[in-house]
Amino acid sequence: MQLRYSFRLYPSAGQRSALARAFGCARVVYNDALRAREAARSEGMPFPKTGDLSKALITEAKNTPERAWLGEVSAVVLQQSLRDLDTAYRNFFDGLKGKRPRMGAPRYKLRKDAPQAVRFTANARWSITTGGKLRLPKIGDLKVNW
């Protein structure tokens, strides 16, 4: 059974910047993965698998000085952005095969596009505190309007 929660958050200034950092990191990983897949397609090579992209774009990139800032956000957020790209490609190819309505190819995410979103799975260890706040990893306790 899958559950989805929708609610209104009221982050503090520090939490707002942490959320903006999470949105930005997820967008960068998504765009890098899309660029890697497009480069592989243009060279006639098979698509890189999600595990290979995760290793190259997340795990190894965190150890470089240029991309050390990827370590400031939860790794689950970055992995979910790779899964979102997989879903976008799956929907695109299913549309070409006639299994679903035709959809365009995945596009790059822009900084000013709305809405920005990140996903925290159960593995991200998010929780609801006794005070009714939402505790997100590397962001903190957020005031929530349920």
Please state the domain extents for the chain. 8-145
Place of tokens 């800032």: 69
CA gap 131, 146 in Å, rounded: 12
Joined tokens for residue 134: 């939402």
Residue 83: predicted pLDDT: 94
CA dihedral 100, 104, 107, 109 (to 10 degrees): -60
Would you give per-residue pLDDT tens digits along the chain (146 residues)?
777 777 788 999 999 999 999 999 999 999 999 999 999 999 999 989 989 999 998 899 989 999 999 999 999 999 999 999 999 999 999 999 989 899 889 999 998 887 888 888 888 888 889 988 999 999 999 998 87
Residue 121: predicted pLDDT: 85
Let me know: does 143 contact 8? Beta carbons within 8 Å: no
Question: What SS3 state is found at 112?
Answer: coil
CA gap 4, 92 in Å, rounded: 24
